[in-house]
A = this chain, B = another copy of it.
C-alpha cells in the first residue's frame, strides 16, 4: 500500500470550512509546502488547531494573512500581529489554551478519551465555563478532547506506508495530532522504502497516516 500522493491532490481533498490540525512550533516542524498550497487553492473559513499562528510570512501565519481562517485554537499568537489585529477587529475567533492543555486535548481526541483533568487553568480565565471535578479535595478542570477533519503534519522521514520519524524540536505537536484527525496528511523531508525505518525508531505508526506528500509536485 503506497500512500504517496502529490501536494496539490492532497490539499484538494480539504473542503472550505474544514477543521485542520497543523503541526509545528513557530514554523519549526510545520508542513510548509502544504500550507503554501492551502493558500494557493484559497481554502476558506478554516478552523485551525495549532500551537501558534507562526509569523505573518511564516507557516500558519500565511493563512491568517490571507484571511482564510475563521477560528483559531492555539496557545500563543504573540508572534503574529495580524492574528491579534483580526481578533480585535472581530474577524477571527481565537481560543487561547495553555500549551500543555492543548497537547492533552488533542491527545484525548486521538486516544478516545472523554477528556482529562488538569490543575492548569484553575482560578484563571481559562476555567470560565468549564466543568470542575474535585479529586482528593483538589479541584481540576475537565478539558475536553479536540479532533479535526484533517491533520496536516511535517515529519523528517516517512516510509511509503506512513511510518514516521521526526527531527529534534520539529516533533512538537505532530506526534499527538497524528491520531486526532479523520484524515492525516504528512509532508516528510524524505520518503524511504518500507522496512528502512526500524520498528523501534518509528514514532508515529503507519496506521495513523493516510496520505504522504511527495517531494515533486
Q: Enumerate chain B residues within 8 angstroms of A114, measured Cβ to Cβ.
A: 116-119, 133, 135, 138, 140
Q: Which of A30-38, A164-172, A179-187 contacts B (4 or more CB under 8 A)?
A: A164-172
Q: Decide if A144 is an interface residue (CB 8 Å cutoff).
A: yes
Sampled A-B contacts (5; CB under 8 Å): A104-B113, A114-B116, A114-B138, A117-B142, A165-B200
Main secondary structure of the interface of A (DSSP, over half): mixed
Determine if A133 and B135 form an interchain contact, defined as CB atoms under 8 angstroms apart: no
- Chain B's closest residue to A203 (CB) is B200
Q: Enumerate chain B residues within 8 angstroms of A113, measured Cβ to Cβ.
A: 104, 116-118, 140
Instruction: Report the copy number of this chain in the oligomer.
Output: 2
Determine if B117 and A116 form an interchain contact, defined as CB atoms under 8 angstroms apart: yes
Shortest Cβ gap from A136 to chain B (Å): 8
Determine if B135 and A144 form an interchain contact, defined as CB atoms under 8 angstroms apart: yes
Contact of A167 among B119, B167, B168, B200 (CB under 8 A): B200
Q: Enumerate chain B residues within 8 angstroms of A200, measured Cβ to Cβ.
A: 156, 165-168, 171
Determine if B138 and A168 form an interchain contact, defined as CB atoms under 8 angstroms apart: no
**Once bound together, how far apart are the Cα atoms of A142 and B115, in whole Å?**
10
